[in-house]
Structure 1
Amino acid sequence: MTSVDASIAGAAGATSTDAAVVAGLLPDGLVVVDAEQRIALANAEALRILECDGADVVGRPVVQGLPLTDKDGRDWWAHTDPWNDTSSHSGHRETLLVAPRGHEVLVTARYVRSDETGVVEQVLLGLRDAEARQRAERDQASVLSTVAHELRAPLTSVTGFTSSLLRRWDRFSDEQKRLMIETIEADATRLTRLITELLDISRLDSDSLNLRLGPVDLLGLLRTHMVRYELGRTAGAVQLRLGDRARRDGLPQMWADTDRLEQIFFNLIENALTHGGGGVTVTLDVGDELDGSPESVVVFVDDEGEGIPVGDREKIFGRFWHGPSNASTGLGLYVVRGLVEAHGGSVLVDDNTAGGARFVVRLPAGLPAVLDG
C-alpha cells in the first residue's frame, strides 16, 4: 500500500467529527467529495499541491473546484463518473493528471459506497506532487546515460582492435599485436567489473546479497594486490604497511568473503589512484571492539590528493555520485560501503596527516555470529 493509499484508508475510517483533524495530519493531499458531487474537505497538503486556497474549492461542485484532465485533455470526471458507476469498482489506481493550474499531479481515487444500495456516497482523492517522480525519472535517465557511456567506451575499443586483428593480422608486428591484445584484455576486465558492480547494486538494494564466508588471510590478499600494481603501469605508486599493533601482536583471524574483500580494496585503491593525484599507502592494523567482536581489523587507504570536503564525505558513498570531476561512474564507493556493511563492518572517510583523503575500513575479527559457538 502506498502512502497515498494509507492516507485515503485512514480518512475513510474517520468520523465526520475528526475527519478534518485526521486529514490535517496526513503527509499526502486529501480531497473528499460528497454524494452531491461537492468538495467537502481539502487538507493543507492538497491545497499546497493544487496551489489554491480552501475557499477556492471547498463547497464548490467538483467539476468547477477541481477540474482534472488526462494527458489527452479529456475531462477526467466525465470519463470516470463515479456517482453513476453501477459496477463494484472501489476506485482508481494512481494516475498522472493535469491540475487546474496546469501542473501535473498524481491522483488516486477510492469510492465509499453505501452498504445497502452500493451507491457511491463519497469519493476520496489522494494527491501527490508529480515533481519528485519526474525528478527521479530524470535522475534515472542520467544514470542510464552514464552507464551506457561507460559500457560503450571499452566495447568500442574491443570491437575495433579485434576487427583490425582479424582482417589485418599479417600487417602488424608482434609488439603491436601484443599491445592490442593487452588493451582488449584490460577493457574486457573493465566491462566485467562494471557489470559486476551494477549487479551488486541490485542485490544490495534488494537485500539479496549472499556472502561466502571463510577464513581469510587479508595480509596475503593485499600483498597479491601490490604485486599486480608492481607489474602494471602503477609500479611504485601503492605501498603496503603494517600498523603498530599488527606488527607487535599479529593479525587476528578473519572470516569473510574473499572475492568481496578483493572487490572492496580494489575499488578503494583505484579510487585513491584516480582522485588522489599521487601515491597511495595501504596500512593494515588491529582495532578495538566492533559489533561484539573483541578485536577488529582496520585498513587505512591514504592518498596524496587534496582531500574530500566535509560536506561531501557522506555523499561520495551515494549511488552514482561522482562529484564535479565526472571521472567515474560513481558506482565503486556505493558498492564498497554496501559490501563492508554486509560483513558487519564500517567505512568512513577522513583527512590524513598529509592533507589527503583517508578511507578507514573496519571489519570484525573472529568467527561470524552464525558460526560462533
Structure 2
Amino acid sequence: MSDAPNREPDRGIRSERPEEAGDPWTRLPSMAPATPSAATPARTGQAGAPTASRGGTAPVPGRVRTLTDPAAAGPVPPGGRTVAPSPLDPGATRDPHGIHRALREEYPLTYDPLLRAWVLSRYADVAAALTDERFTHGHRPGDPPCARAHVDVDVEALRSVTERTAYVLARRLAERPQADLVADFCHWLPAGTVAAAVGVPYRDMMRLVRGRAAGALAGECGGQIAVREKALASFLGNVLDDPGQVAALRDAPAGLVARAWTESLRRDPPVQIAVRRTSAEVPVSGGIVPAGASVALLVGSAGRDPERFREPDRFDPFRDDPGQLTYGPGFCPAVLLAGFEAEYALRALFTAMPRLRLADGFRPTATGLITRAPRSLIVRPGG
C-alpha cells in the first residue's frame, strides 16, 4: 500500500438511479410504470382475503394490494402510484422507514409499477426469498454457492492486511483538526485490503475499481467494494453517534465488535432493495407471488420488522435477538473482509485517536434508495 495515495474524488452515493447505485447483487428492472401481467396475477383467497397472513390473522380485506385481475386496480394515479406507498416515493431517500412500516403493516404483498415488481417487506418473507430456490437470479456473499466456490483462502493473511491497512489510514488522520471518515477512511479501507490481498499497488487498485475490474482481480464477492464501504460508513456512524457505544466498544473484545457489526447490518443494511425472480408460485404474507414475476425484497424494511426484532429502530449490540440479511451464513472472503474491516477500523481509529468524536453539531445522515449509507462522517480526531 502506498504511503500517501493521492486523494480520489468523493464517491459517496450521488445518484439514486439503480443502474448507477453500485450494488453488485441487485439488478432492478426498468423504472417505467407497469402493471402485473394478466397471465401471472397474484392470487388471493375467497372474497379477496389473503391466502397467507401474519401471525395467523388475515389483514383487513382490501388493505393488501394482491390483485386477482390487473384491471381490478383501476387506472394508475398520476405519477404511476399504486394504493400502497412505494419505496421510490419522493422523500424515501432521506427517510424510508415510514414507507417500510406502512408496507409491512398494511401491504405485505403489493405490486409497485415504479419498481415493476411485487414487493415483500416483512422479515419472514424477505429472509425466505433470499435463499428459497423458487427465487432465482440473485447472489449474496455468503450464500450457499460461496462455500463451494471459494477455496485456498488464507484467513490470517486477510486479517493481517486488513489490520495493517486500517492502522496506516488511521494514523494519517490523527493529526488533523477535522476529518471526514467516509471520504478519508471508509472510502479507502475496503479497496486497500483487496489491493494488499491480491498484491496490486494501491493506486493502481483505485483505478481498477473505477474501471469495475476489482472483481476480476479478487473474485466476484471480494470485488464488491462499494457495498463494504457503505456498510462500514453506517457502522462507524452508529457507533460514534452514541457516546455510550463508543465507551463500550473502545476496548471491546472481538466478539462484541462482531455483534455490533451484525447489529449495524441489521439496522442500516448497505443494500436496501434486492430483486429476485420467481420460478414457481410462492405463498407469502398477503397472498401468492406468481411464477415468473420480478420481486423486490426490501432488506431495509425486513431489518426493522418489530415481529422479528425488539425495538427495531434502536442500535443495540447487546440485543438478544440478533440477525442480518446483507450477507449469507456460508464461508466467503467478502464476508470475512467486511467483518475484519469493521473490527480493525474501530481498533485503529481508537488507538490512533483515543479522543475521537463527531464534530460539534454533526449527526450522521444516511441517504439512498437502492444502497444506503451516510455521505459523510465529520469527526474531531483530537476530541
Q: TM-score, normalised by structure 1?
A: 0.24
Higher share in helix: 1
After TM superposition, the score normalised by the length of structure 2 is: 0.23
State which structure, 1 or 2, has the greater radius of gyration over its C-alpha atoms.
1
